[in-house]
Amino acid sequence: MPLVSLVPMRTPAVDPTLRPRPHVLDPRVTERRNPRSAEIDLASPLEIVDLMNAEDRGVAEAVGTQRTAIARAIELVEATFRAGGRLFYVGAGTSGRLGVLDASECPPTFGTDPQMVQGIIAGGAPALVRSAEGAEDLPDGARADLTVAGVRRGDFVLGIAASGTTPYVRAALEHARALGARTGILACSPPAPDVIEAVDVAILPITGPEVMTGSTRLKAGTATKLVLNTITTGAMVRLGKAYGNLMVDLRASNVKLRDRAERLLMVTCGVSRDDARTVLGRADGSVKVAIVMQKLGLDRATAESRLATAGGVIRRVVPDAPPPVG
């Protein structure tokens, strides 16, 4: 389906720290020194807080400049999921950890299979809790890790590299393309032109030099988290895992989830807890199916069929919106 019309965003003024400098030894924006934090070693705690907060204010604006690319990524991920493919995040260090974090949050948030969104980090699971910085320089490690994960044609691989130059990520993208997977790059310093030209989407929120030179867990890490949040949330919403802004694609499989599911039915359908419990039982614990059953007076099989025909989106089956917030 076509995207909602995209309103042009005001282009922010160019930060002087981002302009090319012929004398700078390292061209990566994330490796440059930030003149605004040059005296941070003499700052008081409150001055440090104010300085970092001021720097962080520009992160959301940098992400906003990439709105069209992020929307394109949502489209690609949605199409991948609907065709039975999977989303893989690939990164090293902080970038890899953020990918694993976002992937691990999808099952509890959206009720997805853990295989649907996966994070691959250079150095494997130990690198999540202990630095394995040398692993980012091993292209063979990326190819091996993608092979073990079973990346194949029809999947989508998003490489995350704050600096835009990580060999592990670059090798992963090359290998994924060779397998027939779609690819994307998320970086906070412009990658080489050949990397951008080779991927299906390039998301480049340029956040500028860090408060601590080269510490990309700061602004670059925050921007990365914002982008990943938006991609997975956007794709899941498009798949029909929300009714209004309610997360309804869950199955009542334990006490906590049964309580949450019953409350969702009570709010969306205006029924008592006892009635909600009864409908959920007939819906085999599926909140989405129960909502359609209750609102349209259908049996479970018919409600499931209607949802399948509508691509899983409740609002294409049930015309009314959830009750207003209040």
Alpha-helical (H) ranges within 270-312 are: 273-282, 287-296, 300-309
Q: Which helix (H) or strand (E) holds 118?
A: strand 117-121
Q: Please state, in angstroms and rounded to a whole number, the distance separating the CA atoms of residues 162 and 217.
A: 9
If you count them, how many residues does the chain have?
A: 326
Q: Please state, in angstroms and rounded to a whole number, the distance separating the CA atoms of residues 237 and 245.
A: 9
Q: Which of 47, 61, 78, 105 is catalytic?
A: 105
Q: How far is CA 46 from CA 52, 209, 225, 230, in A?
A: 10, 21, 26, 32
**Is 133 an annotated catalytic residue?**
no
According to DSSP, the β-strands at 242-243 and 201-203 are unpaired
Count Cα neighbours of 178 within 13 Å in the Cβ-side half-sphere: 9
On whether the CB atoms of residues 246 and 291 are closer than 8 A, the answer is no
Q: Which of 136, 210, 262, 304 is catalytic?
A: 136
- Can you list the positions of beta strands (E) in 122-252? 156-160, 182-186, 201-203, 242-243, 246-247
End-to-end CA distance of the chain: 32
**Is 55 an annotated catalytic residue?**
no
Closest CA to 203 of 217, 190, 191, 186: 186
* Residue that has been written with the tokens 């008081």 in this structure: 44
* Residue that has been written with the tokens 């802004």 in this structure: 245
What the block records as the tokens of 210 is 């860090």
SS (H, E, C) 176-192: HHHHCCEEEEECCCCCC
Phi, psi of 290 (to 5 degrees): -65, -40
Catalytic residues: 105, 136
